[in-house]
């Protein structure tokens, strides 16, 4: 359980700034890709932990996230070929998609595919990702600007009101949080 959320929020803000700096980077090494994956993975894990601890409003964890989706071609996605996006997914046929942050966080935390997308000038544009459960149906893509927006949004949100009640069905305590 999270005792004091300030440190988690501050970390999300630092990670947003780190991603903003990565957008200017043109030279990529294995360490750069590793640090990028770690930054994004830990950011979304932190968001999920804040939500589960009821340290952010429920609306923050359910906010809409803009994605692109590329359908699978039909070839099995395995540990040996997961990085060959153009051989596995219809990368020329994106469709726009909106999903809640809770969905995106879980997909990234449990990612099977996690591939940085670079522009022709080798700057960071986005991340392609999916989980073990969704890898055979397609791959999602999120722009880095959208990730930065999410991190800044969550890092600046606070619970203003919490309603606690006991569920009549399960008898468990439920908490609903609002800004």
Show the domain range for 173: 6-178
72 - beta bridge partners?
A: 89
Whole-prediction pTM: 0.94
Domain count, the chain: 1
Distance CA 43, CA 137 (A): 25
For residue 1, being part of any structural domain is answered with: no
For residue 20, being part of any structural domain is answered with: yes
For residue 29, being part of any structural domain is answered with: yes
For residue 59, being part of any structural domain is answered with: yes
Name every residue whose Cβ is closer than 8 Å to that of residue 91 and which is 6 or more positions away in sequence.
70, 85
Q: What is the pLDDT of residues 49-63, one digit of tens each?
A: 999 999 999 999 999
70 - beta bridge partners?
A: 139
For residue 91, being part of any structural domain is answered with: yes
Q: What is the pLDDT of residues 18-75, one digit of tens each?
A: 999 999 999 999 999 999 999 999 999 999 999 999 999 999 999 999 999 999 999 9
């Amino acid at each position: 359980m999270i005792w004091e959320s300030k440190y988690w929020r501050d970390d999300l803000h630092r990670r947003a700034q780190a991603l903003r700096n990565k957008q200017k980077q043109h030279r990529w090494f294995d360490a750069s890709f590793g640090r990028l994956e770690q930054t994004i993975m830990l950011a979304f894990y932190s968001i999920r932990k804040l939500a589960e601890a009821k340290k952010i409003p429920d609306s923050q964890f359910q906010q809409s996230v803009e994605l692109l989706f590329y359908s699978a071609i039909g070839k099995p996605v395995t540990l040996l070929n997961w990085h060959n996006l153009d051989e596995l997914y219809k990368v020329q046929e994106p469709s726009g998609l909106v999903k809640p942050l809770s969905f995106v966080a879980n997909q990234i935390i449990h990612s099977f595919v996690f591939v940085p997308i670079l522009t022709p000038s080798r700057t960071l544009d986005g991340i392609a990702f999916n989980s073990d459960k969704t890898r055979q149906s397609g791959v999602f893509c999120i722009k880095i600007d959208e990730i930065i927006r999410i991190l800044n949004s969550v890092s600046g949100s606070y619970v203003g009101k919490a309603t606690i009640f006991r569920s009549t069905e399960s008898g468990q305590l439920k908490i609903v949080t609002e800004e």
